[in-house]
Amino acid sequence: LISTVLLPLEGFGSLNFVDTTSFEPVDTTYIAAVDEVLVRMLFTNGLPMDAEISVSIYDSTTWTKVYELPVYDENGLEKPNGAFVEAAETGTASNDYRPGEPTRFFSDIRMSADEFRQVMKGNAMIINADIFTTGFDRTSADHVNSKTIKMYTDYTIRVQLGLKTRLNIDPDLLTE
């Protein structure tokens, strides 16, 4: 499929994005050394689009879900629908619906040793993202109360990832 889109793109809408990626299991020697894992996602969103993102771990031989990664907000509260990426607030018609300052926030994925071991039973990750324009009316079938936005080529979103682990390493294992 080849298409052309002329910008600015004006209107409102939503879409669902699902992607699957595989990963190789880690040597069980090293899995036993993990006490806890923290993955921090820092978002700087200049797009007039919100997103709800969840990540599930599967065993691809049977496509059995082995774990749903828990996501926590900046206050340490679990977010049941996954990470929420808040949109930059759009302006009005007088400023051509351009967003003001980008939104900045972070979400955490925290895992205990047992949760990490559960994740390592899988070998595939499915990322599910529901994306919708700022002010999109999800309460009515015709979305009549949705807010108009415009998409321009200079909008950006930045995602930074950090990883912190606590390990309990047996020094005898390091000499092998």
| pLDDT score recorded for residue 162 | 94
Cα–Cα distance for residue pair 129/119, rounded to 1 Å:
20
Residues of the chain with pLDDT under 70: 1, 3, 173-176
Q: What percent of the chain has pLDDT over 70?
A: 95
| pLDDT score recorded for residue 1 | 64
| Peptide bond just before 25 cis, omega within 30 deg | no
Cα–Cα distance for residue pair 58/125, rounded to 1 Å:
6
What are the CA-CA distances from residue 6 to residues 9, 19, 88, 136, 152 (Å)?
A: 6, 26, 22, 21, 9
| pLDDT score recorded for residue 173 | 61
Cα–Cα distance for residue pair 167/36, rounded to 1 Å:
7
